[in-house]
Structure 1
Amino acid sequence: MIRVKSFFVWLTFYLVVWGASIFPLFEDLDQHIWRLLGVAFFFSLFFITPLFKENRQYLTISFCLQIGIVAFIFFPIETYNVNQFVLFIFVLLMAEATERLPVKQMVIVHLLSFLAIMVTFIFGSVSLMTFLFNIFFIIIVLAGFIFYKSRYVRYQYLLSQYEKLSSEFRTLKRRIVRDEESARQEERHMIGQEIHDSVGHKLTSLIMQLEAYRIQLETKDSPHVDRLKKLADESLEETRRAVKTYKQKEVGGLQGVMRLIRKLELESFIRVHFSVNHGAFAAPLTGEQSFTIYRAVQEGLTNMMKHSKTREAQITFDAPGGSIFRFEMTNPVKHTHNIKEGYGLISMRERLEKLGGGLETQRHEKQFILRGWVRLKERGDRHDSSASS
């Protein structure tokens, strides 16, 4: 889109300058018809030039041909004197070459343009002061183009270095997040293994000793020993459940949701402000609920980056009463038309509804609000479901 706009800008400049330059030719069409054919050939090359934008050699040849055509069209003879507007045509050609060509090819076009200007005005019947003014003007313009090109090349170099460093920074950030997660998971495995090896084995030994003690008693029916053995069995089962939980990947809870959002924030160069209210950290979110909430927030941030120029959002989490978990994302918008929900938001609503929740969008003044919620399971229900599984 930017290249199309640039093409039409150059076309406008050329039409204005060429219109002023060839206007005297229409006074005697029979005498200057070949010059007008040259103008048509020039614009044919102008429209073909974008086809060679990736081939610098052909692009340089095209500019050189256009310079030769301009010098041929406006070369002064007895029946035609040089037109001062021709100078601006050469300036436009040099400016376009400065923008589209590398330094070496740009210098070739500039030197050829300078020689064409010199020849055109030397053979034209212009005064010495006009000739010197035109040469001085061209020298100033050439110096300006060279300065601009040097600054532009420097800018492109710095931009490439910035993009390279930015890519390395994002890679390093992802590696740090991945290493931290790996370290946490390794630590959880180590703690779980330690609990299993120490407490679990001791509880198993205690159960075996209680069973041996019960056998050694004169009577096999000992309620006190049975209660102790049952308590030891329950403790061992709780220990195994805790070890199993520690060895699982840590994905549940608000902490996991926020960690995933922070990772997305680093990768997408956005800024997210969090606000946690009403016991949201203690909310018993399952892994599925946490992942669905993260996906809903991710979809909201994606829509923000797609439909708004801002890169900043506010996210609020709360769990009022401990029965539902709510999240609300707000970001500023500039356009005033209504926002139509796409497939992403509709899909997120369906996933939240399957978890007993919902999703809604709202437009308030200059803000877009995405609000969602899920129903929380009671802790007893969670333990029952885990035990039955």
Structure 2
Amino acid sequence: MGVFMGRVSLFSCLWLMLILFDSNYIPFSISLFAVSFAFFCLLSLQKHHIYFYVVLSVIAILHMWTVGTEQFYIITYLYFLVVDATFRLQGYLLKGYLIVNFVISILYTILIKDFIIEVILLHILFVSLILVGNRIFTERQELRQMYEQLLGEFRKNKRMNASADREARLEERTNIARDIHDSVGHRLTALMMKIEILSIQNKERDYEELKIMAKEALKETREAVKALHQEEIQGVASVVQLIRKLEAESQLMVKFTMKQGVLSVALTNKQSITLYRAIQEALTNVMRHSSYREVQVELGKSAVDDVTFEIRNRILQARQFVVGFGLTNMRKRIEEIHGKLHIYQTEQHFVVVGTIPCVVKEIEKHVANSSC
């Protein structure tokens, strides 16, 4: 937004100078400025910018040949359009627009017969600088895209390795639990049976303490086996693992942002599944309808300890959208657990924002309803 306001301000200042210092008929110049301003603002909304830049140059020519008096201001304005086009046009489009403006400037200089050689040399120097600058800018953009792709691949590989390590740990835990159950558990059970037999055969001796110790050992062994069978992570952390696995299996590059404290929020199994399904549906929606493959997923904690999530992806052009079956079903799922979902789009992004209440608040609400 700041860049856009800066461009608009500079554009308006140049036209103000044209109106005040380079116009024989100010009302006509103001009318041309209004038309130019409309086309300049459209540059931020459309994908194909070359036509709007050409129209802006044509309007400048019209002003120059009808009410213009000074060469400096109109040439400066054309230079500004060329510099602005450098960041929006690439390849032959930019070169073609440079040639058009170069020819316009030279023809105007020839017509007024003022500093022809100097102006031509200045134009050549300026065009050369623009081409070199555009080449550097394009190379940096390509390097940035390559870096983001490599970074995305690195993240995917890292998450796939983490998932493989986690599965290996779970498998190892399962094997350990099975071994403990088959060996130690069975031996403790056999030991308790022998102690019981000895207590029946030899009633003079007290085996009660041994029986208690054996029962406690068997109980602790069963609890250890049960703990080893359980998943390592629950709640929001488990949702994060599932989303990362989904990213590794898809063609999306997900940028995760987790706010401080969100991993400590307690969620029920139903809430965790709902959160995962909501994010999964949002990512699926991106794969179906978006031309971009980069998605921002943000998980946070609100001031009242609710879990908040936001899925944001870029769009080529803001259009009226209809909430389909998937998003409607997502909203129903979240509302069933007393959450909220908001879907909207800006000029550049499609955004899904939701809130899921924490377990403690749900318990308090249930207790309050019960007491009533």
Aligned to 1:7: 7
Specify which of 54, 62, 75 is matched with residue 72 of structure 1: 62
The answer to whether structure 1 residue 109 and structure 2 residue 111 are counterparts is no
Could you list the per-position Cα deviations for residues 208-240 of structure 1 after superposition, in whole angstroms to 9, with x for gaps in the alignment? 33444455x3x6x34334443443333222221
User: What CA distance in whole angstroms lies between the structure 2 residues aligned with 1:102 and 1:13?
Assistant: 27
User: What CA distance in whole angstroms lies between the structure 2 residues aligned with 1:74 and 1:293?
Assistant: 64
User: What CA distance in whole angstroms lies between the structure 2 residues aligned with 1:208 and 1:19?
Assistant: 105
User: What CA distance in whole angstroms lies between the structure 1 residues aligned with 2:153 and 2:181?
Assistant: 41
Specify which of 249, 261, 276 is matched with residue 231 of structure 2: 249
Describe the shift of the 1:222–1:235 C-alpha distance in structure 2 as closer, same or farther (beyond 3 A): farther
Aligned residue identity for 1:112 = V
Task: Tell me the matched-pair count.
Answer: 256
**CA displacement at 1:292 relative to structure 2:** 8.3
TM-score normalised by the chain length of structure 1: 0.56
Aligned to 1:383: none
Q: Matched residue of 1:75: which SS?
A: helix
Name stretches of at least 5 consecutive residues in structure 2 with no aligned partner.
245-254, 267-299, 307-372
Describe the shift of the 1:231–1:68 C-alpha distance in structure 2 as closer, same or farther (beyond 3 A): closer
User: What CA distance in whole angstroms lies between the structure 2 residues aligned with 1:207 and 1:167?
Assistant: 57
Contact kept in structure 1, 2:188 and 2:214, CA below 8 Å? yes
Specify which of 213, 237, 250 is matched with residue 231 of structure 1: 213
Could you list the per-position Cα deviations for residues 144-185 of structure 1 after superposition, in whole angstroms to 9, with x for gaps in the alignment? 111111111111111112222222233333333333333333
Describe the shift of the 1:97–1:39 C-alpha distance in structure 2 as closer, same or farther (beyond 3 A): farther
Q: Matched residue of 2:148: which SS?
A: helix
**CA displacement at 1:38 relative to structure 2:** 5.5
TM-score normalised by the chain length of structure 2: 0.58
Percentage of pairs with the same residue: 23
Contact kept in structure 1, 2:195 and 2:211, CA below 8 Å? yes
User: What CA distance in whole angstroms lies between the structure 1 residues aligned with 2:59 and 2:3?
Assistant: 25
Higher RCO (Cα < 8 Å, 6 or more apart)? 2
Contact kept in structure 1, 2:75 and 2:105, CA below 8 Å? yes
Q: Max radius of gyration: which structure? A: 1
User: What CA distance in whole angstroms lies between the structure 1 residues aligned with 2:218 and 2:204?
Assistant: 21
**CA displacement at 1:85 relative to structure 2:** 2.8
Contact kept in structure 2, 1:63 and 1:97, CA below 8 Å? yes
Contact kept in structure 1, 2:181 and 2:225, CA below 8 Å? yes
User: What CA distance in whole angstroms lies between the structure 2 residues aligned with 1:83 and 1:151?
Assistant: 30
User: What CA distance in whole angstroms lies between the structure 1 residues aligned with 2:61 and 2:44?
Assistant: 24
User: What CA distance in whole angstroms lies between the structure 1 residues aligned with 2:13 and 2:302?
Assistant: 45
**CA displacement at 1:139 relative to structure 2:** 0.7
Contact kept in structure 1, 2:199 and 2:205, CA below 8 Å? no
User: What CA distance in whole angstroms lies between the structure 2 residues aligned with 1:81 and 1:12?
Assistant: 19
Aligned-pair Cα RMSD in Å: 3.7
